[in-house]
Chains A and B, each alone.
Chain A
């Protein structure tokens, strides 16, 4: 049953075939290579109810998405949404804002939000269908992969149950 309720889940949200919208799935693929024990890595389209169902029972979730807030491409935004609502600024940031924000707030309303819930948003430059990741977004992907890995390791060291 361990696989049904993994303690930590990383969701890479986005469309892998739509330019910098691939940032979330790209982070997921980098982390998957590391074979992190106790951590489930999911590439996700961002539909809210599916996210709620999949995060149910986890102790910690990391939601990685692309965004278009007007900041320089490659900029990384981080929000701890476990205790506070998804900030309005983040609602406008995500390219799947409805899905991601709705998932977090729906899970919170149902009392199903994991104890630790972190959103990382990577600023994109282009979201053209069929385009590859832009160089700034690719740099953002690498940086977020490192930061999420470090957060998971820190969580494990603090007795959060993860073993990186």
Chain B
């Protein structure tokens, strides 16, 4: 047992294609490597030469699970470049559609991908045979998120209704009424989900992460705010490149992000929660406290509970937005292109999603840069594997492998999003 290699060649229950390898020598974890082998997709190159108006629809194709996040980061970066700010009902509708995506994406991960780890099932299908009512509750909850996406995005998959300056079409108040009815039931289901997730057994593991998330003056963050951390970072998105860097490693088609002066960091639900607990709605804060979370949580295995709290918040916030909704006079404001650079960071379900665009005078995209959350979390995933697994080394290989997979799934990694770049170097001697 002195020398052990734990390998998973194809990670199940994550989005996309990845693997990991852990090498143990003399009872010490020597290395933990996450490999992302999904082919790179060159979206940043596709964007060059296209009109600024096309970015939301092109970038939404990066991910079938979180297209709204890509659209939101794209439109906010373009609006930043063109010197406009969206306010009032249009701004509220953007928060609403983001609520839909969080509900859909988080619920999928909680019920279908992560809960089986805690309840001892190999898949959600096996879990459904024993816990049919629980899985049905998850499907009902997710459907409420899908319905928001369908109504505001124009369709559930690859939404088409979001544009720079607003929407192509905004809903009438009467269209939102059935949605509100559905969301009230979903909010109850979300509360049950928090209680259910809190009842799982969690490995007793904690780590001193640098959490990075948006923070807004008075909202739990979706589209706006400073990028802050628990170690003093406090910047606007236009300073992102000054503080974060991406490097390539041979084993991965995704770039590795680090904070320039410090190293790895964690973004996503756990970071948002720790940096914005006081911005949650009352019902979400209370549910979190009842679930034993407190205002801070540094155990990544409890991220499933934090996700459930965020689903509850998203249902509650969606209902608040619908109750206050006044139909806008125009679905979008008019915009004149100009030569400029625009920056935005929004909170995708999995964490911070940064976009930067440089535009020519006529609004043609001259350069684009996209940093998805899974790229930002790669180093942290590896450090979790390295740091936590040492305490599990007495487990047989199968159980240890499962514990490693569960540790990766704490992050709900979206490998399809992360694999976006590969530098090709040819050495011809």
Contact = CB atoms under 8 A, between A and B. Distances in A.
Which of A45, A110, A129 counts the most B-chain CB atoms under 10 A from its CB?
Answer: A110
B112 A45 contact: no
A110 B135 contact: yes
B143 interface: yes
A48 B65 CA distance: 12
Interface in A37-80: 44-45, 47-50, 52-53
B259 interface: no
Interface string B138-172: 11001100100000000011100000000000000
A17 B46 CA distance: 14
**Chain B facing A: main interface SS:** helix
A48 B113 CA distance: 12
A12 B176 CA distance: 29
A109 B108 contact: no
A48 B112 contact: yes
A105 B112 CA distance: 13
Contacts of B108: 47, 49
A47 B139 contact: no
Contact of A49 (B41, B64, B126, B139): B139
A49 B142 contact: yes
B143 A53 contact: yes
A52 B64 CA distance: 17
B124 interface: yes
A52 B140 CA distance: 11
B146 A53 contact: yes
Contact of B128 (A44, A50, A106, A129): A106
A82 to B, nearest CB: 16
19 contacts: A17-B61, A44-B157, A45-B158, A47-B64, A47-B108, A48-B112, A49-B111, A49-B142, A50-B157, A52-B139, A53-B142, A53-B146, A102-B123, A105-B125, A106-B124, A109-B128, A109-B135, A110-B132, A111-B132
Interface of B: 41, 61, 64-65, 108, 111-112, 123-126, 128-129, 132, 135-136, 138-139, 142-143, 146, 156-158
Given A17-B61, A49-B138, 19 more contacts: A47-B108, A49-B139, A50-B142, A50-B146, A50-B156, A50-B157, A52-B139, A53-B143, A102-B123, A102-B124, A105-B125, A106-B128, A109-B126, A109-B129, A109-B132, A110-B128, A110-B132, A110-B135, A129-B41
